[in-house]
Amino acid sequence: MSASDTSIVWFRHDLRLADHPALVAAAKRGGPVIPVFIWAPEEEGKWAAGAASRWWLHRSLKSLSESLDSLGMRLTIRRGPSLAAIQAIAAETGADAVYWNRRYEPAIVLRDTKIKSTLKSGGLHVESFNGACLFEPSIIKNKQGKPFQVFSAFWRSCLSLPEPTTPIRRPSKLVAPKTWPKRLTVEALGLEPRVDWAGGIREAWKIGEAAAGQQLKRFVSGGAAGYLTGRDRPDRAGTSRLSPYLHFGELSPRQAWHSVRRRQSDMPPGDAEDSMACFLRELGWREFAYHLLVHFPHTVNEPLRDQFRAFPWGHDDAALAAWQRGQTGYPVVDAGMRELWTTGWMHNRVRMVVASFLVKHLLVDWRAGAAWFWDTLVDADLANNTLGWQWVAGCGADAAPYFRIFNPILQGRKFDPGGDYVRKWAPELAALPTKWIHAPWETPPSVLETAGIRLGRAYPKPIVDHATARKRALAALAESRQG
């Protein structure tokens, strides 16, 4: 051990102690460890954390701080610039090494590259690790050495590699420095809203590494067996609900992968085992999103497919506002948007439906939808948000063709057949018979009267006709191709 051997561990989107490669590397040195979090939203530019993410981050940092306290450690919180903060902490503590787990957002990659170079030139040992993905995104290439743009081929390539390594246990002991550097409180970062709008999110979620582990255990032991079919039903608890934990790194994808694989190995062939394989494939889509983000960083702002640069998007602020508020007149769309506003989350099937409605029924630019999701989702992840919106809009990798236009009435009837999802999030329609719940404007006047519903007052009439909107969207596609 050298005269110092003090290590800084820079926590970012990896707010956990288990399966934390950077923390383990620092602990192995045997010297003091300084856990650090730096709040520097200006370095992320347009894609700094949105309001719902900041709310979650506040609580996740509190949870991480408590976990470190239990080991006799402290989380040193500073404001950016990140480079200056790390240099200051190194000078105060005599640290000679800095470790972190990599992030893959374009602005962060550029920032981290500069920071690593500067710190190394200043005599510090700097090392980064993959703590966010099953496979390092930059290494997956096709036979021509180029990045994949089709998921199935990408995932086959991933599955041909050695299986993801097993998760690393959290350190049982960390060495504290003799003197801790000065730190801010989590409250000093001002992450919480001044007006408390987060009651629904508080009710819907538990935050932190322990909560993430509990949710994973709950999913694997129960709901995962029915995931194959249940994941498409917003009226049921059929999804994992692990996305925010994965985004903030309270849970690693390796932990999720191996937990499911252990359960899968105990199952006889059949639907339950297929459900497990289906969930692992969904983790693969997450990997694909990061693969695309790394190789095509411009897609956070521009379409991957050049032919969509000339697409004639509309600028209908009133329609966008109605969509945001859940006032489109299409029950499954409105239910999804209200679920999002209330809980900070939306069922994945419904995400596709509401996104399709925005970009195809209303012809609003997909980037406006991506921005709204970014601000309101607790799992707002740049890679996955970009992939999802470009997939629905038809302008991304392996995207659904633009002429595939979700019919919100049929989607509601198929995936919310009893209308329970709509009744929960659009309670003004609760008294409607199931036959009419997904198309209240088709309901006979006498049935509406019995249900106590006056369309245009208690619940809005459709802001656009589905058939008309479909024709308009296809005409816009033809126009863009001619251009």
Catalytic (active site) residue 257: no
Q: Using one digit for the tens of pLDDT, what is the confidence trace for 50-63? A: 999 999 999 999 99
Catalytic (active site) residue 441: no
Q: Contact 396/303 with Cβ under 8 angstroms?
A: yes
The whole-number average pLDDT for the span 391-406 is 86
**What's the one-letter identity of residue 296?**
F
pLDDT band of 210, cuts 50, 70, 90: very high
Catalytic residue among 92, 136, 180, 285: 285
Domains of the chain in start order, with CATH, are 7-132 (3.40.50.620), 133-166+210-295 (1.25.40.80), 306-482 (1.10.579.10)
N-term to C-term CA, the chain: 66
Least confident of 31-40, 192-201, 332-341: 192-201
DSSP 70-83: TTT---EEEES-HH
pLDDT band of 482, cuts 50, 70, 90: low
pLDDT for 2: 47
* Average pLDDT value over all residues in the chain: 95
| Neighbour order of strands in the sheet with 125-129 | 76-79, 33-39, 7-11, 97-101, 125-129
Catalytic residue among 43, 282, 287, 339: 282
Strands 33-39 and 76-79 turn out to be parallel
pLDDT for 4: 75
Q: Using one digit for the tens of pLDDT, what is the confidence trace for 251-304? A: 999 999 999 999 888 776 776 778 889 999 999 999 999 999 999 999 999 999
The whole-number average pLDDT for the span 150-158 is 96
Q: Using one digit for the tens of pLDDT, what is the confidence trace for 343-367? A: 999 999 999 999 999 999 999 999 9
Q: Contact 9/100 with Cβ under 8 angstroms?
A: yes
pTM score: 0.96
Q: Using one digit for the tens of pLDDT, what is the confidence trace for 297-311? A: 999 999 999 888 889
Catalytic residue among 205, 389, 391, 436: 389
Catalytic (active site) residue 384: no
Catalytic (active site) residue 389: yes
Q: Using one digit for the tens of pLDDT, what is the confidence trace for 86-145? A: 999 999 999 999 999 999 999 999 999 999 999 999 999 999 999 999 999 999 999 999
DSSP 277-338: HHHHHHHHHHHHHHHHHHH-GGGGTS-SSGGGGG---B--HHHHHHHHHT-SS-HHHHHHHH
Catalytic (active site) residue 47: no
**Residue 19 to residue 134: CA distance in whole angstroms:** 12
